[in-house]
Amino acid sequence: MRLDIGCGSIPVGDVNIDLFVGLGPHHKHAIKPKRIPKFVLSDAHFLPFRSKIFTAVHCSHVLEHLFNPCQALNEMSRVATESVFIMVPNNPVTKEHTEHYYSWSLTSFQNLLKRHFSKVEIYGRTKIGDVKSSRMFKLCDRLPILGKPMLRILSYLMALELHAVCNVSFK
């Protein structure tokens, strides 16, 4: 069974949780619990499930909105038996969102996850290196006034995000 934490209006789990019903502050579409299979109104900081009940946990664009992401990661690790899949925005150079409490770069996100999981693999949906190696960026980079703003614009347009696959250890 798979748990989707912060499922929003498009759930992917066998069991789906969210903190909001209706139109929440971070949702584009209203959450209608009757249309979501096995919907549970819950907080990611305190998952109402026994330990090691889900094979996998899915959490997309939720951690950056939480007061205590470490506590939520501990809960994810507690309820999962195999893997936890996490997606967050990658904000090394892009404009910060006012509704986010946290933002991570590739390195800081990896350091955070290694404290909670036995094995962590992180993938960037769009690699910042690819942006920097593009012809357009190299041309703009020659003019210092354009280099960093151009990188910000390209990063923003490419909707950079980090995807992590975390293996849960049996302690």
Residues 70-83 have pLDDT tens digits of: 999 999 999 999 99
For 10-55, write each residue's pLDDT tens digit. Answer: 899 999 999 888 776 666 677 888 889 999 999 999 999 999 999 9
Closest to 89 measured CA to CA, from 151, 164, 19: 164
Q: Which fold has domain 2-125+160-167?
A: Rossmann fold (3.40.50)
As a whole number of Å, the end-to-end CA separation of the chain is 21
pTM over 0.85: no
For 75-129, write each residue's pLDDT tens digit. Answer: 999 999 999 999 998 765 455 677 788 888 788 899 999 999 989 998 776 555 5
Strand 161-167: give its sheet, edge to edge: 39-41, 15-18, 2-5, 54-60, 80-89, 161-167, 119-124
